[in-house]
Structure 1
Amino acid sequence: MKEQESKWSRRKDARPQEIIEAAMDEFVAKGYANAKLADVAKRAGVVKGTIYRYFETKADLFRAVARYLVAEHLSTIEGVPGSPATDAITALPLVLSHVAGKMSDSRLPGIVRMVLVEGRTFPDLAAVWHDEVIAKVAGLLTSTIERGQSTGAIRKGDPALMLFSIMGPMLLGALFRDTFPGSPFAPDLQALAAQHSDLLIHGVSPGRS
């Protein structure tokens, strides 16, 4: 009996995570407007009422998806090794490789595409993605760039604009693969990350014009 109760407890503890995973699949498959909590529940193997125990609305569920995705990114970025004088350069290939790995899971570029397409119709959707994902990841990465600038490891310039130069090709590559999966021009994201890192390290280093 105790063993059954223990299994039930573990299953109950895992339910929010299972619901979030199911919601990601549903949002990617149908978009935000057409995603229904009943279908999320079906994917998660629970009744619809179970979702309301953890998430009051579809908007709350999307916020949980965003927080789940950003938590994975931040934990990896924050764990990048290196001293304050060198970690900006050390971090760059590791961060881009991490982004390539995450973007290879079609759900992440699928969610990004959903936000880009439906953000105007659902401003709260775009606001959640900006506040929960973009602001947190961009804030951490611009701070890393600023640290590199303060030690002379990275040339002077607007850290926010540098961030677009760093992350832009990775996002474009992921969206290209998601939109045109059969194209011969669809890039291998890990190869793109490696090549882009090499170009950036030479470009952001001081002493070059």
Structure 2
Amino acid sequence: MSALPTPARQRRKDARPAELLAAALDVFVEKGFAATRMEDIARRAGVSKGTVFLYFESKQALFRAVVQEAVVPHLAAGEALVEAADRAPAQLLPELLRRYWQVLGDARLAGIPKLVMAEAGNFPEVAAFYHENVVQRGRALFMAVLERGMQSGEFRVGDPLVLCHLAIAPLMFSCMWRQTLACCDTESIDPEIFVQTHLDMFMRGLLADPAGERKPE
């Protein structure tokens, strides 16, 4: 006996949390955390304010859910890539950095770190959540690859935390620049040229024996 079809109202109810999170992401990025109101999100999602509170008890809870839905899956994908360990660290690290760059290149997702950094002083609990669930988790991912490369002799020995910052900071700065001052800058840089130049310079400095620099025996 075939199962009865799910009523349209039930399907709508099941999809509603995802719809609310999509609306919340857009509004948070547009307005920032402080200026966003639950009624703004409800209006964007086409529901009542009370409906939003049926699923999320507060604006903080809704923001946490947005991060878990929109950002954390990218970290999980990176962790799975590293766990597979089917390629050398010197190949894996640039791929992870490019994936990170692609996430930052998404205007909606790039608005989240901008929001957190801009409003961390007024909402330390929001910053602490983001730091624990995104920053620290991402940092651990990159540091694991760096440490693996040092152990294998592919990378020069150095402080993994410092190297992690050196790898990520230029990409994050470029993201913040595009989100803020790029509109005032008359001398723009092609994003692809920027990231490729950064990767070339960083990896050349990191590799214990950069390609093309081996001394003849």
| TM-score, normalised relative to structure 2 | 0.84
- In structure 1, the gaps of 5 or more residues are none
Query: Per the alignment, do residues 8 and 85 of structure 1 end up closer, same or farther by CA in structure 2, a change over 3 Å counting?
Result: closer
- Structure with the bigger RCO (C-alpha within 8 Å, sep 6+) is 1
Please give the residue correspondences for 1:3-152 in structure 2 after superposition, counting only pairs within 5 Å. 3=5, 5=7, 7-80=8-81, 84=85, 86-152=87-153
With structure 1 as the length reference, what TM-score do the two structures score? 0.87
User: After the TM superposition, which parts of structure 1 deviate over 6 Å for at least 4 consecutive aligned residues?
Assistant: none
Amino acid at match of 2:193: A
1:69 alignment partner AA: A
Q: Which residue of 2 aligns with 1:189?
A: 191
Aligned residues: 206
**Structure 2 counterpart of 1:76, which letter?**
A
Using the aligned pairs only, state the percent identity. Answer: 34
Deviates more, 1:68-77 or 1:83-92: 83-92
In structure 1, distance between residues paired with 2:74 and 2:192: 16
Unaligned runs of 5+ in 2: 211-217
Write the distance in 1 (CA, Å) between the matches of 2:163 and 2:141. 13
Question: Could you tell me which residue of structure 1 aligns to residue 215 of structure 2?
Answer: none
Deviation at 1:79, TM superposition (A): 4.1
Change (3 A) 1:203 1:31: same
Larger Rg: 2
Aligned-residue offset at 1:194: 2.1
Question: Does the aligned pair in 1 maintain the 2:89–2:145 contact within 8 Å?
Answer: yes
